Amino acid sequence: MKDEKYNSNVDIECYKNLANAVIIQAAEDLRIKLKKGESIKEFFKFFNSEYFAVLTNVDGKTLLKRILKEYNKS
């Protein structure tokens, strides 16, 4: 069996993919809740949280506003 060397580039890419998937899923869940007229309070907390900031460099407040604006246009 061949020894596998630690590849930090692959690990970082996997982390980024997972982080992006979490954010995409949250955005999709928010859109669903908006369409159903359900409470979205937890999404305000998530998009403005330190956890969100750890996942991405995207501004959570801006993303949240964009999704809300998108919903209000429809």
Residue in 4, 22, 5 with CA at minimum distance from that of residue 14:
22
- 1 — pLDDT class (breaks 50, 70, 90): very low
Q: Residue 71 carries which side chain, given as an amino acid letter?
A: Y
| Average pLDDT value for residue range 15-33 | 97
- 20 — pLDDT class (breaks 50, 70, 90): very high
Listed by start position, the domains of the chain span 8-73
Compute the distance between CA of residue 27 and CA of residue 31 in angstroms, rounded to an integer. 6
Q: Count of residues for the chain? A: 74
Residues 31 and 71: beta-carbon distance below 8 Å: yes
- Answer whether residue 3 shows pLDDT above 70: no
Compute the distance between CA of residue 46 and CA of residue 56 in angstroms, rounded to an integer. 12
